[in-house]
């Protein structure tokens, strides 16, 4: 992973101030962030914490996927998909801001349920929600190519986001 994607709290990316890292994948990092006090107002972007996904510009194919991901998420305003707000470039980084989910990933959620019957029931309920989200994505003409427990977030109300 590119060292330029390791940002310290207080770093500025576009109109956002980075708070802390939320997650890291093969080519991108997601930080908790907030709009800078001097940032122009942007309709639809919450004032509270949000997620800021970053990727380095030097990977042309990855850049295309990153931009396509933002454009796709912007079109998909459906329950179970985090809402995206805006995107840009900053000091050799691509970024987009999105809804920050207060919750945990699918695997951690299930591992946190000690009773096996309750865990199986939760897995079935969350799995059914995931199928509904994937069907909605497919109805819009898209295919999610990276479904895995770490990419499925469950909020504090046991809903996929």
- Any catalytic annotation for residue 155? no
Spacing of C-alpha 15 from chain mean position: 18
Burial 95-122 (b: 16+ CB within 10 A, else e): bbbbbbbebebbeebbeeeeeeeeeeeb
Phi, psi at 34, each rounded to 5°: -145, 155
Please identify which of the residues 38, 58, 146, 155 carries the catalytic annotation.
Answer: 146
Tokens 């190519």 map to which residue? 145
Tokens 């909605």 map to which residue? 136
Q: Are strands 50-56 and 28-35 parallel, antiparallel or unpaired?
A: antiparallel
Which residues carry out catalysis? 146
């Amino acid at each position: 992973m590119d060292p330029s994607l390791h940002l310290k709290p207080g770093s500025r990316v576009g109109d956002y101030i980075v708070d802390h890292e939320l997650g890291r994948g093969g080519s991108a990092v997601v930080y908790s962030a907030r709009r800078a006090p001097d940032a122009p107002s942007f309709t639809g972007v919450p004032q509270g914490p949000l997620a800021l996904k970053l990727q380095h510009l030097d990977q042309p194919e990855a850049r295309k996927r990153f931009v396509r991901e933002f454009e796709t998420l912007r079109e998909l305003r459906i329950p179970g998909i985090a809402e995206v707000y805006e995107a840009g470039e900053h000091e050799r980084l691509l970024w987009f801001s999105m809804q920050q989910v207060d919750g945990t990933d699918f695997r951690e959620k299930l591992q946190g349920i000690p009773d096996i019957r309750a865990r199986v029931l939760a897995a079935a309920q969350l799995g059914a929600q995931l199928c509904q989200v994937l069907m909605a994505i497919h109805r819009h003409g898209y295919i999610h190519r990276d479904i895995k427990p770490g990419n499925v977030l469950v909020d504090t109300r046991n809903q996929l986001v």
